[in-house]
Amino acid sequence: MSPVQFRPDHITQEMLDYAKKLGEGMETLSNLGPIETGVTPRDPVYEEDKLVLYRYRHPNGEPPHNPVPVLIVYALVNRPYMTDLQENRSLVRGLLDAGLDVYLIDWGYPDRADRFLTLDDYINGYINRCVDVICRQHQRERINVLGICQGGTFSLCYAAIHPHKVNNLITMVTPIDFQTPDNLLSRWAQQIDVDLAVDAMGNVPGELLNWTFLTLKPFRLMTQKYVDTVDILRDEKAAKNFMRMEKWIFDSPDQAGEAFREFVKQFFQENCLINGKARIGEHPVKLENLTMPVLNIYASEDHLVPPAASKALKGRTGSQDYTELAFSGGHIGIYVSGKAQKQVPPAIGAWLDDRI
Amino acid sequence: MTNSMHGQWWDQWLRNWQALAAPQRPANPWAAALDEWSRVLSPPTPTYADVFARMLAQGKSFFAFGDALGNSFESQDKGLDAQALFLRSLENLKQGWDAQLWPGAAAPAASGLWQLPLESWQHTASTLTGMSVDALHGPGGSAPTLPWMQQQLERMLAIPGLGYTREHQEQLQKLGSLMVAYQKAFNEYTVAYADMGKRSIERVKARLTEREAAGEAPIESTKALFDLWVDCSEEVYAEFVMSDDYVRLHGEMTNALMTLKKQERTMLDDSLEAMNLPTRREMDTLLQRFQQTRRNEKALQSEMRALQTTQKELQARIVALQKSPSARKKKKTKSKAKKKQT
């Protein structure tokens, strides 16, 4: 039997159906209205340059049962509203429901005035001052820090340099070993002259990074996704969910040139976190200084940060209390999938409750 | 979408439907219909225009499959074996990729799938340099410039500059040379991409043969075949992009673009300086100094806060000491001594 059996009338019907769905999808999009993200009420508690530190309000007005606040440190390469995309897909909401007092750093959109911000400025400057603000507000000496992706690497560095200010450290989809054999981004970065790139561009445009991320799986992310979406566009709710995600994917801030240069060189090209040579400003970063309890969460199908890149933390910290949590899903699914809502925030809440 | 727009759209679809049966139908009637449709309609709202454009573009890739299959059926009507025709159409597609490498050749319809990452790069590179896609990559977009043209251009750019404007000429020649170097790097990248495209067709053929051997149900829809194509393309792509060859090509293309961009900046700064306007170099110097001043200010603020805290602690300790019984006793003794003196 032939492996391909097409009937002209079926194919024609399929084409017509597709075109019809596309037309209906266009109508749905026309009526969709603005797409809102970042749904949980919050208040700005500290601002500096383009950074805003937010504290989230508990939806039911109940006080958090865990007295130690949690600071979420998100990556620079995308916008942090991924953690609070919509009501039923919100890591932030899940953490609030788990009884935590949640703060988040929004880095804003760097422009040319931020060109010379270094990793030292971000980690020992911005993050440190945010931690100080929260400590003062809660009259505590240390708080919990939850770092996501690149923000996880920042949090690791911060906690290793300032261990006395971090009660518990949680890393989510965080690269530690940047040169595992399956790390495509790292492979590509090896031949890039990052000094030349930063000298030429100043800040690194978000558009360029976007191209890089999309070309990790170009046919699925640039083509198949849109062909498949036509099937769901008739449903306004599904269309809104899709558009929210699209908004986030293409909402890529430019990267401050110096910080980008340092990050690519120290981590992607020289793998300094693993070999103990990382330095943030004047401070060496030693993973063995991570003496606080550590919860390391990774996604088993992560194509951006391979699980092995995250799992490399095991056995390298100075902590007597190291826990790993594997989430069965991808780099984005870990924040937004239905399964993640049920598994990840409650697990974080319970782990922190055991370590007040 | 208004009713009249709907009407126009369906009319167009009907015309294309009829065109399928016509003796001289367009090469890709479904894709052509989608083109026509997108021309008739404006995007739903500015917010979604970009997403819808992507859907339309990918819809065209999908329709290209339908068109390719339609072409096969024409021959099938003439009594040829369907599977042989399908495999032949895949072979034609593969050969089309070779033709695509040279200017003027029409790209095979289904190669749109493989062109997208390249087109996307061209757009990004064009935005970065401020040059149009054609100016930066040569006319025809992804079609590599012929080697002899590049050689001629390189020879022209090697002519030494003379006279008062010598330095300016040299800068322009350098820019031209760097542009040629970028185009060469981009061409190598494009050739590698085309090669990956051909291998993806081989993979599709192999996968179909495996299905047949395993007695699996035949593929009966365009979408199923499209998904298989995407799977095979991703597989081939994943294998190649991890290779040393790809890492080198990717690095060379990116670095060549950055060298070109840097030269552009140098020339722009020189022009600004000649006009007595602030340059990027000067702005960078100022921003660097400003950033250092900000760091110093933050460090001072932090030290001041620490000193204030210490001061408050000391004051509190002094007050506590003053209130302590021993301090009060001392105070009493002192006042008694004072009284005695008086």
Question: Does the beta-carbon distance from B254 to A129 stay under 8 Å?
Answer: no
ipTM: 0.91
Q: Where are the domains of chain B?
A: 1-80, 102-277, 289-321
Average pLDDT over residues A192-196: 98
Q: What residues form DSSP beta bridges with A73?
A: A105, A147
Could you give the count of Cα atoms lying within 13 Å of A336 in the half-sphere of its Cβ? 18
* Beta carbons of B250 and A39 less than 8 angstroms apart: no
Average pLDDT over residues A26-51: 90
What own/partner pairs with CB < 8 Å and gap ≥ 24 does B127-135 have?
B127/A205, B127/A207, B128/A201, B128/A205, B128/A208, B128/B257, B128/B261, B129/B257, B129/B260, B129/B261, B129/B264, B130/B264
Q: Which amino acid is located at A2 in the chain?
A: S
Note the pTM of the prediction, 2 decimals.
0.85
Residue keyed to tokens 């306004």: A236
Those of residues 187-216 in A touching chain B at CB distance below 8 A are: 187-188, 190-193, 196-197, 199-202, 205, 207-208, 211, 214-215
CB of A101 less than 8 A from some CB of B: no
User: pLDDT by residue (tens digit) across B237-261?
Assistant: 999 999 999 999 999 999 999 999 9
Contacts 24+ apart (CB under 8 A), A42-49: A42/A104, A45/A103, A45/A133, A45/A134, A45/A137, A46/A129, A46/A130, A46/A133, A48/A126, A48/A129, A49/A108, A49/A114, A49/A126
pLDDT at B213 over 60: yes
Q: Tell me how far apart the alpha carbons of residues B4 and A278 are, in angstroms, rounded to a whole number.
A: 64
What's the one-letter identity of residue A55?
R
Q: Topology of A42-353 in CATH?
A: Rossmann fold (3.40.50)
B278 contacts: CB under 8 Å, gap ≥ 6: B272
| Per-residue model confidence as pLDDT tens digits over A257-306 | 999 999 999 999 999 999 999 999 999 999 999 999 999 999 999 999 99
Of A1, A23, A201, the CB nearest to B261: A201
pLDDT over 70 (residue B86):
no
- Residue B198: pLDDT band (50, 70, 90) is confident
* pLDDT of the residue at B257: 96
pLDDT at A315: 96
Give domain limits for chain A: 42-353
pLDDT single digits (tens) A292-318: 999 999 999 999 999 999 999 999 999
Average the pLDDT over each of A334-348, B54-68, B83-97 and give the range with the smallest value.
B83-97
What average pLDDT does range A63-70 have in this prediction? 95
Residues 6+ apart with CB under 8 A from B336: none
* A115/B295 touch (CB, cutoff 8 Å), yes or no: no
The confidence band for B97, taking pLDDT boundaries of 50, 70 and 90, is: low
pLDDT at B159 over 80: no
Identify the active-site residue in A130, A149, A157, A272.
A149
- A123 pLDDT band, cuts 50/70/90, is very high
**Cβ contact A261:A195 at 8 Å:** yes
